[in-house]
Chain A
Amino acid sequence: EVQLVESGGGLVQPGGSLRLSCAASGFTFSNYWMSWVRQAPGKGLEWVANIKQDGSEKYYVDSVKGRFTISRDNAKNSLYLQMNSLRAEDTAVYYCARDRGFQHWGQGTLVTVSS
């Protein structure tokens, strides 16, 4: 069974940093693109970033370019999102999802940016 478990969310002040993790199991992690998708409170879904199987390609939504960095460790079956210079508008539940078609999703981790 495919499982994706996010962690690392919490309350952070504007301008601060946070690192999210996603632990994957139940499939061969190194065979799949992986993605981060977020959902602001009461709002819709927004793709944030994705990364190719070997980490050689990374793509971001414009609003996070230069501030967020996606990475992966295939030996640890883990996906990461380093978030710097956080803003109030980054407040959201962050989901990790498998591949570019989002076939499987984690339960999400809440990031709150507030003073």
Chain B
Amino acid sequence: DVVMTQSPLSLPVTLGQPASISCRSSQSLVHSDGNTYLNWFQQRPGQSPRRLIYEVSNRDSGVPDRFSGSGSGTDFTLKISRVEAEDVGVYYCMQGTHWPPLTFGGGTKVEIK
């Protein structure tokens, strides 16, 4: 199974400042079809998860452009250019290249300093 490792576990940030979350996979996420199936999700307190980014860097509809995804192979990053209060929550990466099983990272909790 592909193991997804996120860091840091907790990320205190100042409003208006940037934030960066790392996600590493135990093997390359490049699929034989050439795509890389790495997604990012946000889960605000008390809410269901919401997908932000699919296939490394594509923002879902309605996702603010302060969120961006990058990376390749086994190393991926989610960046928030300027953190807002509504960005508080837990962020998860997930791989869909080598499945079953589909696997998630352990999560990164973003909180305001």
| Nearest CB of B to A67, in Å | 15
Q: Which of A29-68 contact B (CB under 8 A)?
A: 35, 37, 44-47, 50, 59-62
Range of interface residues on chain A?
A: 20 to 34
In-complex Cβ contact of B104 among A44, A104, A107 (8 A) = A44
Tell me the A residues contacting B by CB distance below 8 Å: 35, 37, 44-47, 50, 59-62, 95, 100-108
Residues of chain B touching chain A, judged by Cβ–Cβ distance below 8 Å, are 37, 39, 41, 43, 48-51, 54, 60, 90, 92, 94, 96, 99-107
A and B contact pairs by CB, cutoff 8 A, 28 listed: A37-B49, A44-B90, A44-B92, A44-B104, A44-B106, A44-B107, A45-B49, A47-B100, A47-B104, A50-B100, A59-B100, A59-B101, A60-B100, A61-B100, A61-B101, A62-B101, A100-B99, A100-B102, A101-B37, A101-B39, A101-B51, A101-B54, A102-B51, A102-B94, A103-B51, A103-B54, A104-B51, A107-B48
